Chain A
Amino acid sequence: MRHDPDQDGRTSLRQRLRNSLWPVLKSLVLVGVTTIGLLILDQFFALRHVTLVYLVPVVIAATKLGIVPAVIAAIAGGGASAFFFYPPIYSFLVQDPQHLIELPLFVFVAIVTGHLATNLKRQAELARRRETEVQDLYAFSRQLAAAHTANDIYTAIRQHLTSMIGRRTILFETAPRGGVGATLSNEERVPERVKRETEAVIGRRKDSRSDSVVDDGEGHLWLVRPVAGKAEDFGVLAIDLGQQAGAKADAIRQRVDTVLDDATTTLEHLDLGQAISEARVRSETEALRDALIGSVSHQLRTPLVSILGAATVISRAPGNRSDPRLASLADILRDEVDRLNSDVQDLLDAALISSKGVRLESEWVEPADIVNTAIDRRQRLLAGHRVALDIPSELPFIYVDPILLEQALGQIVDNAAKYSQPGSAIQVAVRSDSTSVILSVKDEGFGLVGEESTRLWERFFRGERHASNVSGSGLGLWIAKAFVTANGGEIEAFSEGAGRGTIVSIRLPASEAPKPDLMVGDDG
């Protein structure tokens, strides 16, 4: 139900009067319109039982305007039928005794119907609101399930609270281990005064009711309030109250209190405090590991440049050039350096993905370019395989980060070559349908068995069958999946079993490319 929080003041009295008079006026208009309609019809047909028709405005008033306008519509309807339709016409007198019974009966029925209709509407509204609440809660729990870092959890909480309160809210994470100082859990811009007030609130948060209202200097009032349950602390919330002041703001504040009490209970039930601290520990561990991997990999890569360079120079040196044994030794060096380099690159990529996420630099790309680059860069690796490409000539352009997509496809091709016998075939194909472009790599290799097909995409996962005899970091497919997902695509692998090959496909959304109006004047 809509309720008006204004309680005092002359302007608000006038406002209230207008607010309650307006629906009554509307209901009278409805009755008037019905009457005019009936009078017109009455010119053509001799109408009987017109009173019943007045139930229509009553029901409309009851569902749209509330019970008071409905009652007034009922009385007005009764009056109008007495005046216009019951003899003597144009008088409120009623002669026929049957009509004398009919009229009060109508008013009674109309009021009851109106009351029922209002109730029904209220219940429908309640049900609808519960449904949105349940949907919100469902979305919230789904987001929580997917949350990995403390930040994800805070974002989920903030979105949940925003949708429950219906106003702009900003959630400040209180510093871990009881420290004072607010960390912003998202990247929104916050007025400076609100930020300072938040810190003040965090400072005195031991008091149970330490909320306060602050003016941000730009005409907006903000309510700053801790979100804390009995035992746990979920941060401090700043809510934009808008430009209201006084009683209106107080009413919003009361509603926020109610909503937050509910929400805090939910958060406690979900044991979020625990989840947040676990996520913090997890991210610290990961940050340390990634920093380590990053610096070690850089140290590993620098000498590779000299090793590869020097080896290829030796094999090309005058006097050595004609010696096939030296050339093949240089080839070995080159292959091993390539392999080591790609493992080091995987480590660097993986560290970068988990510390900074995937940053896209998307553009319109010719899908064939991705495939050709991925294959050409791996010529040495693929030299022992029969590689077949199947690329249609008229593919839609795709909007992706070409570098990342090439690396993702490259990882798949690497795997196809590594986990199959020399001499076997690898087929790379591109297909398109109305909604997507699909790149697929099909090999005749060792296939996938057991947990390989389910754990394939995990970080550092390596199948036990191959861990000892095929080199790899266990990161390739994890990286490929991260890059494809970041580009809005999906990646999946299918195998009929051991020794029966694997098909990996990357599905990317195909969207409408811009029209080439610059091509005008070109006959090409």
Chain B
Amino acid sequence: MAETPQPKKLLLVGLVIIVLLLSALVSLKLDFDNRDMLFQSIIRENPDGMEAFRELSEVTPPDAVIFSWWDYGRAIEELGARRAVVAYPSRDISQSIAASQNPVYALEMMLFGSYESSEKIRDVARAFLLSENESLRIMRKYGATHVMVFHGKDDRGAFNDVQKFYWIARIAGHNGSEYIRIDGTSPKLSYELTPKAEQATMLRLLFDENFSPQHFRKIYENAVTKIYRIVYPTFTGSPSQSGSEPCWIHVREQLVTASLAQRATYTLL
């Protein structure tokens, strides 16, 4: 058999490499698209989840801007028809996403994923970890009018901000275990709030029955979510309601009492 000329051989090798690379990209993109639809599908399959996002468009004005962890941003926009402050992760927190433990999916995310800026994601995380007054400054910076937190107990943890709290704290530069501890000794996963929990806005909103948030008025709650209207304080010292309808509420007394120091255990599963 005659030896194939070198240029022809090179051309063939080049062609194989190009086709292989393009084929790999097509496969990765298809898988990425499938996986991208999974979370929205989990929401659609959960009646409480669907109800939460449907109700979002009922209880908030059309120009509302929703402050939530990024996981729910796309559902807020696509199912709730409201603008979310963040809808995607930032590149530097991709390791916090469960699926990224698969190296192929991590690559897919790098190639095809959409990202928010690191500053924005860190700001959102910080807002959830800081005290209410400090959080309001960040929320105002992004024009947020409402906050949505999730306390669902589904098996997949899709609607459970408590499970996500460790990562959110870590991204904010805090140690999550200083606020909440997971009890691994019990067969049922349970969480124990520490006295410091009352300082974190997210935990105050999630466990509002214990902490009574001062600048957030709950306007909706179901089995998976709590929606709050942000009540920004005015320069006169009184809080003002966000949104188009002016409304005044009384500044509540500090409700942080000794009872909060008692460690409440919340069994979630």
Are A and B part of the same complex? Answer: no
